[in-house]
Amino acid sequence: MTLTEKILAKASGRNRVAAGDNVWVNADILLTHDVCGPGSIGVFKREFGQNAKVWDPMKIVIIPDHYIFTADRLSNRNVDVLREFAKEQGLSYFYDVIDDPEGHWAFNVARGQLRRQHGSRYQGVCHAALPQRGHTRPGEVLFGTDSHTCMAGAFGEFATGIGNTDAGFILGTGKLLIKVPETMRFYLEAELPKGVMAKDVILNVIGDIGFDGATYRAMQWEGPGASALDMDDRMTIANMAIEAGGKNGIFPADKKTFAYVDERTRANGTKSAYEPAELDRDQIFAFDKVYDLSKLEPTVAMHPNPGNRALAKTLEYVRLDRAYIGSCTGGKTSDFVAFAEVVNGKRVQIETYGVPATSEVVSDLKQARLGETSVWDVLIDAGVMMTENASCAACLGGPQDTFGRLNAPLTCISATNRNFPGRMGSKESKVYLASPYTVAASALTGHVTDPREFLS
Amino acid sequence: MAKKLTSPVYVVEDNIDTDQIIPAQYLTLVPTIPEEYEKLGSYAMVGLPDDLYPIEFIKKGATKTGYKIIIAGKNFGCGSSREHAPISLGAAGVEAIVAESYARIFFRNSVATGELYPYEARERLIERVKTGDIAIIDFDNDTIEINGQVHQLKPMGDVRPVIEAGGLFNYARQSGMIPGP
Ligand code: SF4
């Protein structure tokens, strides 16, 4: 069996499953956020009753992150809906925006977007916060009401996005009926050359197989090239399985995984036991391809979809209005450090927005140094508009007053994961997806730029 | 029960993603609150670029669409997992989609909510029909008739019982997974 099949077999209480089987699986964690949480809670109450109790208050993780730093009334209300539910159900893992359990969240427009406005429990983007807070473990089943839930596959677990109705069902039962996906294997050889990042790997793969090339399938990453990647890079790759239409992305768990997970579960006092799935010899793949990482070059997905691939060096003619670094896939500490390496001591030529994925990333960047200066200050000195308010921000457009939103038909290069028409705001805008290196180099020149010329 | 649906169709291209079906700024609306459900419906498909889709899906000032059937190309509903997408279509009055293929989560959400029938076509219908043509879907025989021609649709297979039951909850009740109401 493949990794995905092994995990689903165990979670459904069977010895074996095969691709195409429909099985009821037990969830280890259900993740939700402010956009889909209120609707999922609504479904749960409608179906199980107003006074119903969730199946397991320790297995539900609620991380508000999408529409937080906005004056939009309904968005602020939705955070309050989550707080009420967490209180009523006695949930341990609700990462509230504010510290007062009796309070109401209201964004203060007068204090602006840049300075921190949240309390001490608040995390930021759910997929980046989930591992940091010790909720990802090898061998487990994670369902989340967000398509990029697949990012947790970096930790050797089965992780996939679901809708509100499915989530409402899990809230009541802890189970879900799913079809076992076929597995596609991507076998990575060698290591990434200078200037090429994990983002370039996944943009290349999606360019090859098409952005519906993995529909209904698991994307399994193996080989020495995969082992050489650190956890942040694995997350970047697993995150974008959905951009190829995939059900999940998964890496085998190894020493790096165990070290990360053990440290995080200990630090946060979350469940520390887990049983990783190990690679079998009798795996059956629907697709199997070897990638030599040393041959990859900085890659861009052009407007209007993540499979529209070109090499950065061939797009120098594309003039840009804006650069954006942030999101679950591109707003991690390592992403900002890479960005800072390129812009260190220089000035960006176009408006450039930086949105850390989590509040931990904010504090990492203030502590980490490039030479004498903190990474945070390197970015500020280069002219990047950095916000201390970690969130999804303009990655998915959001309400009009969202930080960095494309409110006009602008051309933007972005370290995020989606560039469908209107994704970051105006439906006339154009978004180019690229690695933090490429976004940084392009911010310095005002047109799409191969970052290798800045990294000698 | 013989079930048929007759309606003018709305035709869209390949790769219609959920940002076009219901743009992100409307995700503040919570589908289980009735007024907000209706509102979501009134915004269905407003993310389609105007130059490619000069005919409005929902007429100005209206809250429902006149098109109960959407004919789509490949990979309909790709992108975010928002259940708001099939719900907004259902709330706008859409009852069935006939696409060449679907993105996984959109398909799943359509089935789980019971909002609409996600049929797969066997051929590239979007090249043979235009917005406004009248279609008849025959659910018992899995066919669609447009402009006098009958096209066979792919049977829904595994998920048909879930759709017939009216969504995931009813299905789970019928099969004894969860207690009845
Ligand atoms: S950062 Fe972007 S892709 Fe990630 S969860 Fe938020 S909106 Fe989705």
Q: Between chains, do B32 and A247 touch, taking CB under 8 Å as contact? A: no
Is A397 near chain B, with CB under 8 Å?
A: yes
Mean pLDDT of A106-116: 97
Contacts with B, A 291-330, CB within 8 Å: 305
- 8 Å CB contact of A397 and B25: yes
Summary mean pLDDT of chain A: 97
Question: In this complex, do A39 and B75 lie within 8 Å of one another by their Cβ atoms?
Answer: no
Among B14, B27, B177, the residue to mutate for chain A (most A Cβ within 10 A) = B27
pLDDT tens readout for residues A353-395: 999 999 999 999 999 999 999 999 999 999 999 999 999 999 9
**Confidence check: pLDDT of A209 > 50:** yes
Taking an 8 Å cut-off on Cβ atoms, the answer to whether B101 and A215 are in contact is: yes
Name the residue in chain B with its Cα closest to that of A173: B178
Alpha-carbon distance B98 to nearest alpha carbon in chain A (angstroms): 18
Cα gap A60→A69, rounded to integer Å = 24
Q: Which 3-state string (H, E, C) describes chain A?
A: CCHHHHHHHHHCCCCCCCCCCEEEEECCEEEECCCCHHHHHHHHHHHHCCCCCCCCCCCEEECCCCCCCCCCHHHHHHHHHHHHHHHHHCCCEECCCCCCCCCCCCCCHHHCCCCCCCCCCCCECHHHHHHHCCCCCCCCEEEECCHHHHHHHHHCCEEEECCHHHHHHHHHHCEEEEECCEEEEEEEECCCCCCCCHHHHHHHHHHHHCCCCCCCEEEEEECHHHHHCCHHHHHHHHHHHHHHCCCEEECCCCHHHHHHHHHHHHHHCCCCCCCCCCCCCCCCCCEEEEEEHHHCCCEEECCCCCCCEEEHHHCCCCECCEEEEEHHHHCCHHHHHHHHHHHCCCCCCCEEEEECCEHHHHHHHHHCEECCEEHHHHHHHCCCEECCCCCCHHHHCCCCCCCCCECCCCEEEECCCCCCCCCCECCCCEEEECCHHHHHHHHHHCECCCHHHHCC
Query: Which residues from A are below 8 Å from B82, CB to CB?
Result: 35-36, 163
- What is the per-residue pLDDT for A135? 98
Q: Is B113 on the interface with A (CB under 8 A)?
A: yes
Give mean pLDDT, residues A140-150: 97
Cα(A108) to ligand 1 centroid in Å equals 23
For residue B61, the distance in angstroms to the closest alpha carbon of chain A comes to: 21
Q: How far apart are CA A433 and CA A416, in angstroms?
A: 6
Q: Is A407 on the interface with B (CB under 8 A)?
A: no
Q: Read off the pLDDT of residues B65-85 as tens digits, 9 standing for 90 and up.
A: 999 999 999 999 998 878 999
Which pLDDT score is estimated for A367?
98
| Ligand 1 atom closest to the CA of A357, numbered from 1 | 1
**How far from chain centre, in Å, is Cα A132?**
12
Cβ <8 Å between A245 and B15: no
Fold (topology level) of A181-269+284-295? Aconitase; domain 3 (3.30.499)
Equal CATH topology for A181-269+284-295 and A301-454: yes
| Contact indicator for A90, A361 with CB cutoff of 8 Å | no
Which structure tokens are listed for B11? 């035709």
pLDDT confidence tier of residue B2, bands split at 50, 70 and 90: low
pLDDT of residue B181 exceeding 70: no
Which amino acid appears at position A169 of this protein?
F
Domains of chain A, residue spans? 3-177, 181-269+284-295, 301-454
Mean pLDDT for the stretch of residues A106-118:
97
Q: How do the domains of chain B map onto residue ranges? A: 4-174
Nearest CA in chain B to A423: B19
pLDDT in tens, A396-440: 999 999 999 999 999 999 999 999 999 999 999 999 999 999 999
CB contact under 8 A, A42 and B79: no
Residue of the CA atom closest to atom 6 of ligand 1: A392
Q: Cβ–Cβ of A212/B78 closer than 8 Å?
A: yes
pLDDT score recorded for residue A206: 98
Q: Is the CB of B31 less than 8 angstroms away from the CB of A39?
A: yes
Q: How many Å apart are CA A346 and CA B10, to the nearest integer? A: 51
* Minimal-distance CA residue of chain B relative to A428: B49
pTM across the whole model:
0.96
Which CATH architecture fits A3-177?
2-Layer Sandwich (3.30)
pLDDT tens by residue, A31-73: 999 999 999 999 999 999 999 999 999 999 999 999 999 999 9
Chain mean pLDDT for chain B: 93
Rounded average pLDDT over B76-98: 94
Nearest to A160 by CA among A97, A70, A245: A245
Residues of chain B with Cβ-Cβ distance to A24 below 8 Å are 177
A367 Cα–ligand 1 center, Å:
25
Per CB-CB distance under 8 Å, the chain B contacts of A42 are 30-33
Distance A395 CA to ligand 1 centre (A): 6
B177 touching A (Cβ < 8 Å)? yes
pLDDT at B52: 94
CATH number of A301-454: 3.30.499.10
User: What are A251-287's pLDDT values in tens digits?
Assistant: 999 999 999 999 999 999 999 999 999 999 999 999 9
Q: How confident is the model at residue B178 (pLDDT cuts 50, 70, 90)?
A: confident
Lowest mean pLDDT among A233-237, A336-340, B61-65, B164-168: B164-168
Report the C-alpha gap between A434 and A412 in whole angstroms: 11
- By Cβ distance, the residue of A166, A212, A420 closest to B112 is A166
Architecture of domain B4-174 in this structure: Alpha-Beta Barrel (3.20)
Nearest to A162 among B20, B81, B167 (CB): B81
Residues 6+ away with beta carbon under 8 Å from B175? none
Nearest CA to ligand 1 atom 4: A328
The response to whether residue A148 sits with its C-beta less than 6 Å from ligand 1 reads yes
**CA dist., res. B95 & res. B87, Å (int):** 11
Taking residues A216-240, report their average pLDDT. Answer: 98
Kindly state whether A427 is in contact with chain B, defined as any CB-CB distance less than 8 angstroms. Answer: yes
Whole-number Cα distances in Å, A386 to A66, A97, A353: 17, 19, 6
Cα A214 to ligand 1 centre (Å):
20
Residue among A66, A81, A245 minimizing CB distance to B75 = A245
What is the pLDDT confidence band of residue A344, given thresholds at 50, 70 and 90?
very high
Q: Is A396 in the pocket of ligand 1 (CB under 6 A)?
A: yes
pLDDT at A347 over 60: yes
User: How far does B152 lie from chain A, in Å, by closest CA?
Assistant: 23
Q: What is the ipTM of this complex?
A: 0.92
